[in-house]
Amino acid sequence: MNWNRYVTHLVATLCLALACVAAQSQEDPRIGELSYLDRQFMAQQRALLEDLVARNFGRRFSGVRDNDLELLQMLLDRQVVRANQTRELQAMGVVMGDLLASEFALKWVVYEDHLGRSRALRNGDSDIYLFPITMISRRREVDNRTPVVDIYR
């Protein structure tokens, strides 16, 4: 008798836990401004790439789409940045995100949901978000060699 009661209680508890997880996963994300630390970290990522490009190619990022996308591609093609260099790959995503933000009037925001906290680009006050920081890194880490210009599009 106690065993049946225990199993019933266990099943009810598991069902309740699953219902809570399902409800939590459907909550709206929290959107906020970049913090001082976010801005500092992103500035460090940009500086890291500026240094790599200057040392390896004697060039600079300019904010001009064709120039900057070419430099990002060169970093990959010449294996200055490799698939296991997540920090550098994500820094490339910041530079690409800056281009997207400039061209399409997007704004960097903090996007926080049940999966965690991310920096994203938002289109106005809409619910349309892009996550450029991982657009290059996630592809390269699984040996997807999609050209940067195609990712940008």
CATH number, domain of 118, equals 1.20.120.1090
Confidence of residue 11 (pLDDT cuts 50, 70, 90): very low
- Percentage of residues of the chain with pLDDT beyond 70: 83
Question: 0.95 exceeded by the pTM?
Answer: no
Range of the domain at 84: 29-152
Q: What's the structural domain count of the chain? A: 1
Over residues 71-91, the pLDDT tens digits come to 999 999 999 999 999 999 999
- Is the pLDDT at 12 greater than 90, yes or no? no
Domain contains 16: no
Domain contains 8: no
Domain contains 10: no
Domain contains 33: yes
CA dist 114 and 27 (Å) reads 8
Q: Where are the beta strands (DSSP E) in the chain?
A: 30-32, 107-113, 116-122, 129-130
How many distinct helices (H) and strands (E) make up the chain?
6, 4
**Residues 57 and 129: beta-carbon distance below 8 Å:** no
Domain contains 105: yes
Domain contains 47: yes
